[in-house]
Amino acid sequence: MEMGVTAVMLPELDFDEQIALCRELGIRYYQYRPRVIPPEQRDKPWGNWGNHKFDLTPERLVRDGASLTRRLRAAGIKPWGTVPVCCVTDPDDAIKLHLEGAATADAKAVRCGPPAYPREPFNYPELLQRVVDRYAQVIEKLSAPMDIKLILETHCGTMITSPGLAWNVVRHFPPERIGVIFDIANFGREGEVAPVLAVSVLRDYIDCVHIGGNRRIIVDVDPLGCTRRTGQMCRMEEGDLYLPAWVKALHDAGINPPLIIEDFTPNMTGADRLRQSAAALKKMLAAI
């Protein structure tokens, strides 16, 4: 397994600066972030989910994707998918734009997530069937003809917060057409199971891994005396999940997905976060 990075965590750097940092740290894989910066964020400080120095819109990726990937490859870096804001329930034209960008950049895959689940009890089998049917439509009409893989992130608040819930969706399709971004930090917030079980459930569908630290912190105590907690991003070594066990489970399963670093430790630049996580991850890999 080798290290990668998602451009989401490098808002302060332009594309050339991102490439230089990846070369410095031995990062082999790069995930494009084709998104529109919200107008209200454009004059704000750089932020992971807001203003980015490398302003890569979906339209720009379609236009410039081939030249951007040539620059990556010249530096010994391989593109590994794109992570736009894209939901399978979006209109066909919106999804097609992201697929075209990935095709132009030879990035092979597009993150296209399922919808959020309702926040009140609901008919899960009915919603699951609608989601599976929609993925079937998108794959048949849009992604398969372009030979682009759809990748679904195990993300908090969505239909696939856990490995088992992700399996309920992806098992209907071949792994060549659909895969999973195995987001370990999100498992620390919602959907956690034992590492070996998580890897075993999704094994053939794990396209890549998002790896970073997350810990639960107490925010208050309710009138019943029960603590309320929230998630806080942190260094890999300080998270609630023991990441060496997760890395070892992936290794022992005989799969070698890119380990895409996604470090959102507060009050640090993206470059410094990548440096600290690359060093920590190298130690975990060396200890296997």
Q: What is the pLDDT of residues 209-230, one digit of tens each?
A: 999 999 999 999 999 999 999 9
Report the distance separating Cα 241 and Cα 184, nearest Å. Answer: 8
For 143-168, write each residue's pLDDT tens digit.
999 999 999 999 999 999 999 999 99
- pLDDT band of 137, cuts 50, 70, 90: very high
Closest CA to 5 of 207, 280, 260, 206: 260
Report the distance separating Cα 94 and Cα 281, nearest Å. Answer: 36
Model-level pTM? Answer: 0.96
Query: Contact 8/262 with Cβ under 8 angstroms?
Result: yes
What angle (nearest 5°) sits at the alpha carbon of residue 269, between those of residues 151 and 39? 65
Collapsing DSSP to helix, strand or coil, 281 comes out as helix
Query: Contact 107/80 with Cβ under 8 angstroms?
Result: yes
- CATH class of the region 3-286: alpha beta
Specify the DSSP element, H or E, that contains 265: none
Collapsing DSSP to helix, strand or coil, 42 comes out as coil
Q: Give CA torsion, residues 124, 84, 261, 254, to 10 deg.
A: 60
